[in-house]
Chain A
Amino acid sequence: MTSIGQIVRRGGAGAAAAPDPVRDPAGTSARSRRGSPPVRRLSLRTRLRRDGALLVMVLPAVLLLGVFAYVPMLGNVIAWQSYSPYTGFLGSPFVGWANFERVFSNPLFIDAVQNTLLITAFQLVFFFPVPIVLALLLHSVITPQIRTTIQSIVYLPHFFSWVLVVTIFQQIFGGAGLINQTLRDAGLGSGFDLMTNPDTFLVLLTMQSVWKDAGWGIIIFLAALSTVSPEQYEAAAVDGANRWRRMWHITLPALRPVIVLLLILRLGDALTVGFEQLILQRGAVGADVAEVIDTFVYYQGVIYGDWGFAAAAGLVKGVVSLALVLGANKLAHVFGESGVYQKS
């Protein structure tokens, strides 16, 4: 056989505690993957000299964000103002926490938060894993032509507008849709209407999201999978690992960091769910199930030009999101993952 180079093994060469993935089903290898020794306290000057190049590399991005994200972010001061575009940030009177109080005192806000979290939770379970499974499935297709063909088809719905996606679903699952027509023609009644049923709305939303974005979502996993060398599989196969064990011990660990990262970021985004998708179907199922935080802010604040209200709601969301990300990150550490931030 050709080389089973140490290099292709993560945690190979240098790392002392580099267990063989096949023989280490507990998966401790992943945890020790980042094998750098703890840093000793160095003087700032030493560290500057050592990391100066890194800082220079980060600089352009930080400058761009500083100018185009942070400077206008100061505009969020209007959350504490009775803001008017004409008088501007300097001229608008301050109103304390009044805008925040209006957000929290609105009974619809609580409903919107509940709906948002429910949808997020449902989609975490039924949507988030789909691209991973699809990517693994595609990865297991052996003929390259078939694999690349399928790859270049499944992502296409990502480029459809939500209007079109909803229309397509309506033509299939609606009361005048394909399924219902078939049922009616077969004399099986015509009660089937997935599009207007508030009770199954979560399922509908998730189906639509999966159809539209799962194929696009696999791209990042395909990139991660391409970092796995065939030699690793070969070595494992030679060591007697069957396909499932190879998937478990080689493929999944290769995906794990990116899965964890995306999961953390999705948790941080827990308060954001498909705005367009929901606003399009609000009338079909009613605001009771379709009102989420973003649509709430839109209807209560934005379309009436109530910028202070919208800014206050946005800030509340931002704080909660950041807290969620940091919390999820901590949780990742508990499970031995590095997450967004690593422990230090």
Chain B
Amino acid sequence: MSTGSGHAPQIDAGGALVPRDLAQTADGRAAAARRRRRSRHRAPWEEPASPLGAVVKFLVLAGVVLAVLIPLWTVVLTSLSTQAETIRVGGLVTVPGELTFNAYRQILSGGIVLRATLVSTGITAVGTVLSTVVSVLAAYGLSRPSSLWHRPLLFVFLVTMFFGAGMIPTYLLVSNLGLIDTYWALILPGAVSAFNVLILRNFFMGLEPAVLDAARIDGAGDWRILARVVLPMSRAVVAVVALFYGVGYWNAFFNAILYINDNAKWPLQLVLRSYVLQGVTLPGSGVGQVDVATGAVTGLPVKMAVMVLAIVPILVVYPFVQRHFTKGVIFGAIKG
């Protein structure tokens, strides 16, 4: 693959207003050095921010971050409070009072949680790999303009975004395929998201055609081009789509309600949900209705702990996705 040689001339540089080698003049170098001192990360050619702009940017970003962190803080704090504390303040806790890990202890001590975590991890791992591979293939397969049947095929994908199948027909299908009580029932029905395929395709189509053409001229087939050229250049979007799929699989619970009868096979989200539902008064149940005194804590702290636990996996995974957002990493990959 061509990695432009040294000082490749700019195409159609007619009427250049600024000498291209300005930065290499003595003045330029000195200025660049000064700027470098001011900010280690500023590229030499980047002008310093105007003070006003910097202040505005800082304020906006600080506002955005606080708008997220303050509610998050109250959620975490509430999950660490006693139920009595939440009742005392009448809702989410904003000032630390009596702190306890009871809510977490209660959720995590149930024997079924560990198992459910393994189930969810397995489903998410297998599902994400399957979905991502299938979607990348499909997206590449549809990304070449004017390829055979790509328009009707694209339509096949598009239609699924707007016409759903009902719950009962889908259940009957899954049941008749013998998938009830199997993990495949949690993976296959939603394995392909047309949205994600379209996103991938959109990125693939934005890739430099010349590179693909060059590879083709070198005799590479489509499989090879996809593996050696397209994928390395698209790591960010593939990571994002994998993240979308992963989050989808991890958070899904409704399919499990319908397709999994064996409670030992429940995914984590469904188990966590049951902690949130705990303590619900049944319709028509009065003082006499038999409810079993389990001494379980209910209420806001448990609900918030469930919310916090839902965030943990993404906190673990996100940095791996984020790595691919770094400026220029892709081009490093191409050149390297």
Q: Is the CB of B307 within 8 A of A164?
A: yes
In the complex, the answer to whether B331 meets A229 with C-beta atoms within 8 Å is yes
Asked if A171 is an interface residue, CB under 8 A from chain B, the answer is: yes
Collect the chain A residues with CB atoms within 8 Å of residue B304's CB. 164
Interface: B231 (CB within 8 A): no
What is the CA–CA distance of A23 and B325 in the complex, to the nearest angstrom? Answer: 28
Nearest 3 interchain pairs by C-beta: A5-B4, A75-B169, A72-B165
Counting residue pairs across A and B whose Cβ atoms lie within 8 Å, the total is 348
CB neighbours (8 Å) of A14 from chain B are: 209-210, 213
Inter-chain CA distance A124–B193, complex, in Å, is 23
Contact B325 A62 (CB under 8 A): no
A18:B11 contact, CB within 8 angstroms: yes
Contacting residues, chain B, for A298 (C-beta < 8 A): none
Q: Which one, A74, A76, A340, contacts B158 given CB within 8 A?
A: A340
Q: List 8 A-B contacts (CB under 8 A).
A: A1-B21, A54-B144, A152-B319, A215-B64, A226-B326, A234-B45, A240-B18, A322-B159
User: Given that A1-B21, A261-B202, A322-B158 are known contacts, is A137 also in contact with B189, CB under 8 Å in the complex?
Assistant: no
Interface centre among A58, A67, A307, A318 (most CB of B within 10 A): A58
Check: A186 CB closer than 8 A to any chain B CB: no
Closest beta carbon of chain B to A27's beta carbon, Å: 15
State in angstroms the CA–CA spacing of A9 and B100 once bound together.
Answer: 57
The 8 Å CB contact of A36, one of B41, B149, B161, B209, is: B209
Residues of chain B in range 1-52 having any CB-CB distance to chain A below 8 Å = 1-8, 10-13, 15-18, 20-24, 39-43, 45-47
Bound CA–CA A341/B8 (angstroms): 35
Interface size of A by CB at 8 A reads: 120
- A:185-228 near B, CB below 8 Å: 211, 215, 219-220, 222-228
Contacts from A to B (Cβ < 8 Å):
1, 3-10, 12-15, 18-20, 23, 33-36, 38-39, 44, 47-48, 50-51, 53-58, 60-62, 64-65, 67-76, 78, 85, 89, 134, 137-138, 140-144, 148, 150-157, 159-161, 164, 167-168, 171, 211, 215, 219-220, 222-231, 233-235, 237-240, 242-243, 254, 257-258, 261, 265, 268, 307, 310-311, 314-315, 317-318, 321-322, 325, 338, 340-342, 344
Flag whether B103 is at the interface (Cβ < 8 A): no
Question: How near does chain B come to A60, taking the closest CB pair, in angstroms?
Answer: 5
CA distance in complex: A311, B163 (Å) = 10
Interface residue B148 (Cβ < 8 Å from any Cβ of A): yes
A36 to B322, Cβ gap below 8 A? Answer: no
Which residues in window 176-193 of B have CB below 8 A to A? 188-192
B307 to chain A, nearest CB (A): 6
Evaluate contact between A65 and B160: CB separation under 8 angstroms. Answer: yes
Asked if B113 lies at the interface with its beta carbon under 8 angstroms from chain A, I say no
User: What residues of B have a CB within 8 angstroms of the CB of A74 in the complex?
Assistant: 169
Provide the residues of chain A in CB contact with B23, threshold 8 Å: 1, 238
Given A161-B307, A219-B240, A235-B10, are A57 and B137 neighbors across the interface (CB < 8 Å)?
Answer: yes
**B147 engages A230 (CB within 8 Å):** no
Q: In the complex, A338 Cα to B151 Cα: how many Å?
A: 13
10 further A-B pairs in the complex, CB-CB below 8 A; given A51-B149, A71-B169: A8-B331, A14-B210, A50-B148, A54-B150, A69-B192, A76-B165, A137-B60, A226-B325, A237-B47, A258-B199
Main secondary structure of the interface of B (DSSP, over half): helix
Query: Would A60 and B43 be within 8 Å (CB), given that A8-B331, A73-B163, A153-B68 are in contact?
Result: no
Which residue of A8, A254, A310 contacts B4 across the interface (Cβ within 8 Å)? A8
B residues adjacent to A (C-beta < 8 A): 1-8, 10-13, 15-18, 20-24, 39-43, 45-47, 57, 60-61, 64-65, 67-69, 71-72, 74-75, 91-92, 134-135, 137-138, 140-142, 144-151, 153-154, 156-166, 168-170, 172-173, 188-192, 194-195, 197-199, 202-203, 205-206, 208-211, 213, 221-223, 226, 233, 236-237, 239-240, 243, 304, 307, 310-311, 314-315, 318-319, 321-322, 324-331, 334
Query: Considering the chains assembled together, what is the distance between the CA atoms of A150 and B7 in angstroms?
Result: 36
The distance in angstroms between the C-alpha atoms of A76 and B13, with both chains bound, is 60
By the criterion CB–CB under 8 Å, are B92 and A167 in contact?
Answer: yes
B210 and A12 contact, CB distance less than 8 A: yes
